[in-house]
């Protein structure tokens, strides 16, 4: 009888040991799989590109400030004249330029090296933070010569359709006077080599004293 009880107890304990060992094995496997999938998930998620902010004093209506996304800064200035424009048109190390409220991209008639820059204008209701990629079918506009008539007479300037700010207009299309500045839409700039794309938001155009040409913008790369 004692032998029977002993064998029964031993058999029960052996079964318990087997069950306990199986439980450990199952738990270990689950833990390994959990770590594997967790690692894959972390590798699959990329950190969003950093948003950079840049400022420039572009108060002159005849001076262009040339910016490079590769260096993350303005790399030089040029005057609005044939000699300076030709010099910068022969360079491919800049992506866009600012001249007070005007913008120039390294593309079209602004380049003599067939640079492939340009700009895409987002809808005015699109927030900067919501732009994570270049929209499908986006058409990037290249620079062209624009003739305008103002107080200084008729002037032809090679520039982009994009502007640092937008002027408020009356119902007939004429400008409201004195000028009323509205926030420009978010832009996507294509780099001079045609390979990179950056979203840009101009956040300020005047200083605290209300003087125009104190430009601040934020940008981030679109991957």
Question: Per residue in 66-79, pLDDT tens?
Answer: 999 999 999 999 99
In whole numbers, what is the pLDDT of the chain averaged over residues? 85
d(C-alpha 194, C-alpha 111), whole Å: 13
Percentage of the chain exceeding pLDDT 70: 78
d(C-alpha 105, C-alpha 115), whole Å: 9
Contact, 190 vs 118, CB < 8 A?
yes
Q: Which of 193, 194, 189, 186 is nearest to 222 (CA)?
A: 189
pLDDT digits (tens, 9 = 90+) for 126-163: 999 999 999 999 999 999 999 987 666 889 999 999 99
SS3 82: helix
pTM exceeding the 0.75 threshold for the entire prediction: yes
For residue 49, what pLDDT is reported?
A: 84
Q: Which of 146, 150, 176, 180 is nearest to 165 (CA)?
A: 180
Q: Taking phi first (over 0 means left), then psi (-120 to 50 degrees means alpha), and beta for anything else, what does residue 146 get? A: beta
Domain boundaries, the chain: 1-45, 52-221
d(C-alpha 126, C-alpha 138), whole Å: 14
Assess whether pLDDT exceeds 90 at residue 122.
Answer: yes
């Amino acid at each position: 009888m004692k032998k029977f009880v002993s064998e029964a107890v031993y058999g029960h304990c052996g079964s318990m040991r087997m069950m306990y060992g199986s439980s450990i094995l199952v738990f270990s496997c689950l833990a390994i799989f959990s770590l594997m999938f967790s690692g894959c998930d972390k590798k699959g998620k990329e950190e969003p590109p950093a948003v950079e902010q840049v400022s420039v004093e572009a108060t002159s209506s005849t001076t262009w400030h040339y910016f490079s996304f590769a260096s993350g800064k303005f790399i030089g200035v040029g005057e609005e004249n044939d000699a300076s424009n030709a010099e910068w048109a022969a360079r491919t190390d800049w992506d866009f330029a600012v001249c007070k409220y005007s913008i120039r991209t390294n593309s079209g008639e602004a380049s003599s090296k067939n640079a492939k820059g340009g700009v895409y204008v987002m809808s005015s209701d699109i927030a900067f933070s919501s732009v994570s990629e270049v929209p499908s079918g986006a058409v990037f506009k290249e620079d062209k010569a624009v003739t305008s008539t103002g107080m200084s007479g008729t002037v032809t300037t090679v520039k982009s359709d994009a502007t640092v700010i937008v002027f408020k207009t009356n119902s007939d299309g004429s400008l409201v006077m004195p000028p009323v500045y509205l926030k420009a839409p978010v832009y996507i700039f294509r780099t001079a080599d045609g390979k990179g794309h950056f979203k840009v938001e101009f956040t300020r155009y005047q200083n605290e004293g209300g003087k125009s040409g104190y430009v601040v913008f934020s940008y981030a790369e679109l991957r």
